């Protein structure tokens, strides 16, 4: 009898979130601070919605230095970790990985909160293709960043999100002779950091909270 992945592994998802009022500062030429905060919250809601529908994910954890994120996380039955004083992305992720290990996770997948095109099917496909690997990566559209990171077991590799993180994660895995799976995805690979990303997003018809927000903003112009 074939054993399903959900029975074999306890996969926990980790979604790191910046302090809302400080998020997406590179979009300031196009958006006010209030609009950037609303966009951040909308994208977080959408990512939580799709991640919570992925069958093989046993638990979802949101980690942030912003206590206001707790209410959003709890509305999707997600665990919330307050990282205390703002530690930075990688320290926050490591905190959530340690928590996941303590709760019995056999693998974790770190998914960023600004992926408006991400969907449950693509995340499931990514996890399925990582099944026999220690490290799985979805690079950002420009091939620079890492938009999703799979680790089995959770502490097998130290996360190094930031500039050139896709290359850095591959290099670290190679140094440790770990089996790595790279999955390129147009949906998971699209994040919203630069003004051009937002312009492209505005030209698309999106569902969910992000789509509602963009349509409302367009009507107000």
What is the CA angle 79-82-86, rounded to 5?
A: 145
Please name the residues in contact with 207: beta carbons below 8 A apart, sequence gap of 6 or more: none
pLDDT digits (tens, 9 = 90+) for 123-132: 999 999 999 9
Q: How large is the average pLDDT for residues 97-108? A: 97
Give the CA distances from residue 195 to residues 88, 107, 138, 153, 180, in Å, rounded to whole numbers and listed in that order: 23, 34, 22, 37, 32
Domains assigned to the chain: 9-220 (3.90.550.10)
Q: How large is the average pLDDT for residues 87-97? A: 94
E strands, the chain, in order: 11-17, 57-64, 79-82, 107-111, 135-139, 146-151, 180-182
Q: Using an 8 Å Cβ cutoff, are 92 and 16 in contact? A: yes
Q: How large is the average pLDDT for residues 148-173? A: 97
Residue 190's region, left for phi above 0, alpha for psi from -120 to 50, else beta, is: beta
Q: What is the per-residue DSSP string for 179-212?
A: -EEE---TTTT----SHHHHHHHHTS---HHHHH
Q: Taking 50 as the threshold, does the pLDDT of residue 2 lie above it?
A: no
Q: Taking 90 as the threshold, does the pLDDT of residue 9 lie above it?
A: no
pLDDT digits (tens, 9 = 90+) for 170-211: 999 999 999 999 999 999 999 999 999 999 999 888 889 999
């Amino acid at each position: 009898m074939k054993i399903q992945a959900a029975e074999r592994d306890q996969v926990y998802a980790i979604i790191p979130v910046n302090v809302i009022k400080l998020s997406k500062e590179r979009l300031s030429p196009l958006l006010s601070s209030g609009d950037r905060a609303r966009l951040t919250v909308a994208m977080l809601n959408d990512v939580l919605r799709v991640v919570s529908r992925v069958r093989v994910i046993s638990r979802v954890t949101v980690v942030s230095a912003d206590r206001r994120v707790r209410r959003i996380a709890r509305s999707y039955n997600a665990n919330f970790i307050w990282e205390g004083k703002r530690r930075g992305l990688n320290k926050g992720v490591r905190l959530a990985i340690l928590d996941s290990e303590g709760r019995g996770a056999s693998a974790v997948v770190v998914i960023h909160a600004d992926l408006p095109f991400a969907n449950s099917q693509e995340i499931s496909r990514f996890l399925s293709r990582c099944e026999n690997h220690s490290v799985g990566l979805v690079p950002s559209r420009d091939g620079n960043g890492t938009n999703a990171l799979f680790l089995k077991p959770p502490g097998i590799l130290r996360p190094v999100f930031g500039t050139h993180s896709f290359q850095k994660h591959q290099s670290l895995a190679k140094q440790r002779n770990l089996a790595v799976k790279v999955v390129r995805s147009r949906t998971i690979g699209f994040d919203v950091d630069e003004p051009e990303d937002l312009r492209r997003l505005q030209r698309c018809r999106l569902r969910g909270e992000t789509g509602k927000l963009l349509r409302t903003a367009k009507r107000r112009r």
